[in-house]
Structure 1
Amino acid sequence: MEYFHLIIVTGMSGAGKSHAVQVLEDMGYFCIDNIPPVLIPKFAELCIQGGQRVRNVALIADIRGGEFFDAVSQSLKELKEQHISYEILFIEASDQVLVRRYKETRRVHPLAPHERPVQGISLERKRLSALRSQADTIIDTSNLTPKELKDLIMKKYAIHERKKSIDVTIVSFGFKHGMPIDADLVEDVRFLPNPYYVEEYRNKSGRVPAVREYVEGFAVTAAFKEKWFDMIDFLLPHYEREGKSQLVIAVGCTGGMHRSVCMAEALYKHLRDNKIAVSIEHRDLQKNEVEEDAPGYEGM
């Protein structure tokens, strides 16, 4: 049988199962939330038949499945009969912590929708006791922050053949069109000399070599690039160390046509030359009157 890694995530409602699966998904696992246990053996079989396409899978199976959840023992038995290996990750927390979380979120317990949460928690512990005894890993989130839970899961279930690196997206934009809502870092380059006020450059984009040479020909631009690149080089490994997998760097000028485009391209080239996984997007470039454009560094 080809390599196939199946993690069955279960445990107490409100303990952090959904967060755990989100982490696994970010790590490269194919994830399904609240799958009826009766479907697990067939789903695993289909994944294995798919060969290289689906090799790392995480499934949440919990009491939200109602009467279907009672079939989990039979499903695990079928997996063993089919010689399909699996791990059970059980997420739990103390009664006091779970009650507090239910009160904070104002949710009702799925086993006690019209009663106090503590009654549903007690009933759920009894129903999960047999499955808990079969768990390969038990994580108590009572005293864990989301970041600490993420670190534990990443350490335990890392896909070793996948290189851990941060993916950087650089987005140029114009402030008059609004800032990108998904930006992690925003750099305002409106202090740089503006080609818009040079007649021959007004309708040429920041990707045109003559415009780029104009912007980069000033001492302030050279000084800025040196300091900016140094800051980005400093930040990236620290973001990676904190477990961040994606970083969006937005670079803005007034219209998103000249300075922001030029500086975004410069940063893209710098990161690409340093073997960083990077992509670039010029969000607002075509919202301007562009009469001449040119391929950026990505197209060279």
Structure 2
Amino acid sequence: MSLVIVSGMSGAGRSSVAAALEDLGWFVIDNMPPSLMPKVVELAESMRDPSPSLGLVVGREVASDISSLIEAVELLRDQIPATRVVFLDASDDALIQRYEGTKRRHPVPGESVIDSIHREREILSKVKDLADIVIDSSDLSVHELRSRVYEVFSADGTSTEMRVVISSFGYKHGLPRDADLVFDCRFLPNPYWDKSLREQTGLDQGVRDYLLSKPEVTEFLGVLQSFVGYLLPKFRAEGKSYLSVAIGCTGGKHRSVFLAEELRKWIEANGGRVSVRHRDFEK
């Protein structure tokens, strides 16, 4: 059985993640008290036809029972090797905006919403440290958050093999909040300054030909592949199930898109599980 435990900041999207997992065929229990998690898993394993994929979404009141959650996570990881912990995070500003929009009371008592958020963040810091996957939903719509879950827990989501997600982005639109590795390629020749290539992207052959003709681009690509190739088995050995690699240029349209695609092809050719998304190339 594969097990996913979903926790995180109130308002960061736990319910959306639960719905996405259900869409993918997982059996999901929402608002799960941490103290009951080991018993529920034991019952699931004893069923005649146990679900191969079980998701437990921690409830809003987890901050008052944090020790039980940490104890349950450590116990279940020993019991079920294919256990992953997902932590949903978001910036203070994003959480404040969401609470102001819904008029809901924050589950952690405080003198104000921001005070409650700060208290909850401090309480949940140990859970975040235990997480295999951290998803920052600050800049994600509900649909984008679901897409992120689909990337991580696709039809073959029961596999324990590490999944790599490569993102291209533009620095002028802000850094990705949840990237494990970030590579800056703004020093490379920029196709933007060629008027015939300006409206194209790194997916177009003209931009690809331009970049491949530059020795510094092919040199950097080789270094990037070598470095990532060195790191991947190290992360796998640590038991990491999801690795987010971000590559950024100025606008996120040409160089970063090209490099993300080339790195994807290289990882696939070497047997890795990888997907790619281009955050800013249509902006």
TM-score range, shorter chain: 0.5 to 0.7
Q: Out of 155, 162, 167, which is 1:159 matched to?
A: 155
User: Does structure 1 residue 20 correspond to structure 2 residue 30?
Assistant: no
2:8 maps to a residue whose letter is G
**Deviation at 1:159?**
2.8
1:136 aligns with 2:132: yes
TM-superposed CA distance for 1:65, in Å, is 3.8
Which residue, 69, 73, 77 being the options, matches 1:76? 73
Query: Which residue of 1 is the match for residue 96 of structure 2?
Result: 99
What does the per-residue CA deviation read over 1:261-284, in whole Å, with 9 as the maximum and x for residues that have no partner?
A: xxxxxxxxxxxxxxxxxxxxxxxx
Residue 68 of structure 1, CA deviation: 3.3
- Secondary structure of residue in 1 paired with 2:49: helix
* Whole-angstrom CA distance in 2 between matches of 1:20 and 1:79: 20
Q: Distance in 1 between matches of 2:145 and 2:157?
A: 22
Q: Give the counterpart letter for 2:69 in structure 1.
A: V
- For residue 144 of structure 2, the aligned residue among 128, 134, 148 is 148
Offset at residue 51 of structure 1 (A) = 4.8
Counterpart residue number, 1:119: 115
Aligned to 1:42: 39
Cα distance between partner residues in 2 of 1:19 and 1:122: 23
Unmatched 5+ stretches in structure 1: 163-300
Gaps of 5+ in 2: 159-283
Instruction: Quote the Cα distance in structure 1 between the aligned partners of 2:80 and 2:20.
Output: 27
Residue of structure 2 aligned with 1:109, choices 95, 106, 128: 106
Largest Rg, 1 or 2: 1
Using the size of structure 2 for normalisation, the TM-score is 0.52
Superposed, which structure 2 residues align to 1:190-269 within 5 Å?
A: none
Judge conservation of contact 1:8–1:61 (CA < 8 Å) in 2. Answer: yes
Please say if residues 63 and 120 of structure 2, whose CA atoms lie closer than 8 Å, have aligned partners that are also in contact. no
Aligned length: 158
With over 3 angstroms needed to count, the CA separation of the structure-2 counterparts of 1:87 and 1:161, relative to structure 1, is closer
In the other structure, the counterpart of 2:28 is 31
Contact 1:79 1:85 in 2 (8 A): no
Q: What SS class does the counterpart of residue 65 from structure 2 fall into?
A: helix
Distance (Å, rounded) in 1 between the aligned partners of 2:43 and 2:81: 12
Q: Segments of 4+ in structure 1 off by > 6 A?
A: none
The code of the aligned residue for 1:96 comes to D
Number of the residue aligned with 1:225: none
Q: TM-score, normalised by structure 1?
A: 0.49
1-structure distance, mates of 2:130, 2:46: 27
**In structure 2, how many angstroms separate the alpha carbons of the residues matched to 1:26 and 1:70?**
31
Amino acid at match of 2:37: I
User: Following TM superposition, by how much is the alpha carbon of 1:63 offset from its aligned partner in structure 2, in angstroms?
Assistant: 4.7
Query: What percentage of residue pairs aligned between the two structures are identical?
Result: 34
In structure 2, distance between residues paired with 1:141 and 1:161: 21
Q: Write the distance in 2 (CA, Å) between the matches of 1:161 and 1:118.
A: 36
Report what 2:4 is aligned to: 7
For 2:53, the equivalent position in structure 1 comes to 56
